[in-house]
């Protein structure tokens, strides 16, 4: 005999019947309520909802009242809301530019057939033709503005990855791409004058810069602190954007690298990690973090200690998986046309398992 019982759930003023124990996201989707979602693992934050009344089990976050709908089980009548986001869809496009931002980071521009609609800080699932999809966050250019149908991505080249090592060689200008999205909840929200504290490591700078640029454009009077970090000075590609911040009297920045004490012992680029230079947070702060899970978790803990509002975008490596025979053949033939030899990995060697590309 089932122990579940019927309850009434209201989401954004749309009511429906559900049973206790059901996962909130599944129950909503079954009723035709399009709650935004992506990973279904409680990691991406796309399905965040706010519980106004009732009881949910699981899926809780560091923010009181916020839950991951994909992990939350309904236990009672409930009144729930979520922020309406641009609808998820597909955009077809081509690679129009590839540039070196740092020795291990590329700037990749993709022009789509139709206008892109996303909030600053969200991400897309990017599928280069012939390769598995990877998630990247679009960022505004460091100078000027881009067209509404062009996305600029900061992509780290991950040794042993199935996708990123091929950028600039097999994946060249004109390569066809499909963008699916947007996803993610760590996007810019126009505030009420509260200080923005933005923390990034590595290519986590892309969504953080998107949030910063949106704030500078729409509310330049709001205090903003941006802390960007990299392991090596040579990988700190954010300098042009940080120089742009210097033009705004209410904005400040800190750049940090772990080898700065040897290569640039100055106040401009400081030694250590972004966390080493995070100032005391206030309850009224709006805090964003993107990059390594270790950094994001540490900043989340600091924000939770004072009750600050926190949004995160953690970059997690994809699980290892071997290329398909068709993918390997495509790569080998493309390299042959360019006069290059295929590596054993591109030829489908399964002797070694690699961690794949991270965002």
CATH number of the domain that residue 17 is part of:
3.10.20.30
- Verify that 118 and 61 share a domain, yes or no: no
Residue 242 in any domain: the answer is yes
Quote the tokens at residue 341.
């030899």
Residue 359 in any domain: the answer is no
- Verify that 95 and 67 share a domain, yes or no: no
- Verify that 204 and 310 share a domain, yes or no: yes
Q: What is the pLDDT of residues 89-98, one digit of tens each?
A: 999 999 999 9
Quote the tokens at residue 256.
């940090």
- Verify that 254 and 309 share a domain, yes or no: yes
**How far is Cα 105 from Cα 209, in angstroms, rounded to an integer?**
16
pLDDT for residue 304? 92
Q: What is the pLDDT of residues 65-106, one digit of tens each?
A: 999 999 999 999 999 998 888 899 999 999 999 999 999 999
236: domain CATH number is: 3.40.50.80
- Verify that 63 and 138 share a domain, yes or no: no
Q: What is the pLDDT of residues 231-251, one digit of tens each?
A: 999 999 998 898 889 899 999
- Verify that 145 and 235 share a domain, yes or no: no
What are the start-end ranges of the E strands in the chain?
Answer: 6-11, 14-19, 48-53, 56-57, 66-68, 73-74, 78-81, 89-102, 105-112, 123-128, 134-136, 150-156, 176-183, 196-201, 224-230, 251-257, 269-271, 286-291, 309-314
pLDDT for residue 145? 84
Q: What are phi and psi of 26, to 5 degrees?
A: -65, -40
- Verify that 302 and 205 share a domain, yes or no: yes
Contacts of 245 (CB under 8 A, 6+ apart): 212, 216, 224, 226, 251, 252, 253
Higher pLDDT, 108 or 36: 108
178: domain CATH number is: 2.40.30.10
- Verify that 157 and 201 share a domain, yes or no: no
Residue 354 in any domain: the answer is no
Task: Report how far Cα 64 is from the mean position of its chain's Cα atoms.
Answer: 22
CA distances from 205 to 167, 169, 281, 345 (A): 20, 25, 20, 30
Of the residues 65, 81, 97, the one at which a domain ends: 81
Q: Residue 268 pLDDT more than 90?
A: no
CA distances from 270 to 33, 237, 285 (A): 48, 15, 23
- pTM for this prediction: 0.80
Question: Which percentage of the chain shows pLDDT scores above 90?
Answer: 68
**How far is Cα 220 from Cα 208, in angstroms, rounded to an integer?**
16
β-sheet bridge partners, residue 171? 167
Range of the domain at 329: 89-184+325-337
- Verify that 201 and 307 share a domain, yes or no: yes
Residue 345 in any domain: the answer is no
Let me know the angle formed at the C-alpha of 110 by 106 and 116, rounded to the nearest 5 degrees: 130
**pLDDT, average across residues 328-343:** 49
Of the residues 81, 116, 131, the one at which a domain ends: 81
**How far is Cα 42 from Cα 38, in angstroms, rounded to an integer?**
9
Quote the tokens at residue 120.
């600053």
Residue 343 in any domain: the answer is no
* 3 state DSSP class of 289: strand
Residue pointed to by tokens 């139709």: 114
Q: Residue 342 pLDDT more than 90?
A: no
Structural domains of the chain, count: 3
Quote the tokens at residue 53.
């009344």
């Amino acid at each position: 005999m089932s122990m579940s019982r019927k309850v009434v759930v209201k989401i954004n003023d749309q009511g429906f019947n559900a049973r206790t124990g059901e996962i909130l996201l599944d129950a909503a989707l079954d009723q035709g309520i399009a709650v935004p979602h992506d990973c279904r693992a409680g990691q991406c934050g796309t399905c965040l909802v706010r519980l106004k009344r009732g009881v949910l089990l699981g899926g809780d976050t560091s923010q009181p009242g916020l839950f991951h709908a994909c992990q939350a089980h309904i236990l009672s009548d409930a009144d729930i809301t979520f922020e309406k986001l641009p609808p998820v869809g597909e955009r077809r496009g081509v690679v129009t530019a590839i540039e070196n931002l740092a020795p291990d980071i590329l700037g990749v521009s993709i022009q789509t057939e139709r206008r892109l609609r996303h909030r600053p800080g969200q991400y897309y699932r990017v599928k280069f033709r012939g390769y598995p999809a990877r998630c990247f966050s679009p960022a505004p250019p460091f100078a000027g503005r881009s067209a509404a149908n062009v996305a600029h991505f900061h992509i780290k080249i991950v040794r042993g990855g199935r996708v990123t090592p091929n950028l600039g060689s097999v994946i060249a200008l004109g390569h066809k791409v499909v963008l699916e999205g947007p996803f993610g909840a760590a996007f810019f929200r126009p505030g009420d004058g509260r200080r923005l504290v933005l923390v990034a490591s590595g290519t986590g700078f892309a969504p953080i810069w998107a949030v910063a640029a949106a704030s500078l454009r729409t509310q330049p009077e709001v205090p903003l602190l941006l802390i960007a970090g990299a392991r090596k000075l040579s990988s700190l590609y954010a300098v042009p954007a940080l120089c742009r911040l210097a033009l705004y009297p209410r904005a400040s920045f800190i750049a940090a690298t772990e080898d700065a004490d040897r290569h640039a012992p100055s106040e401009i680029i400081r030694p250590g990690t972004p966390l080493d230079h995070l100032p005391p947070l206030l309850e009224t702060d709006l805090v964003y973090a993107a990059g390594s899970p270790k950094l994001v978790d540490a900043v989340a803990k600091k924000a939770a200690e004072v009750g600050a509002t926190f949004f995160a975008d953690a970059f997690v490596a994809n699980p290892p998986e071997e290329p398909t025979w068709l993918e390997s053949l495509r790569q080998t033939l493309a390299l042959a046309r360019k006069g290059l030899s295929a590596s054993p990995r591109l030829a489908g060697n399964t002797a070694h398992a690699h961690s794949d590309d991270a965002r």
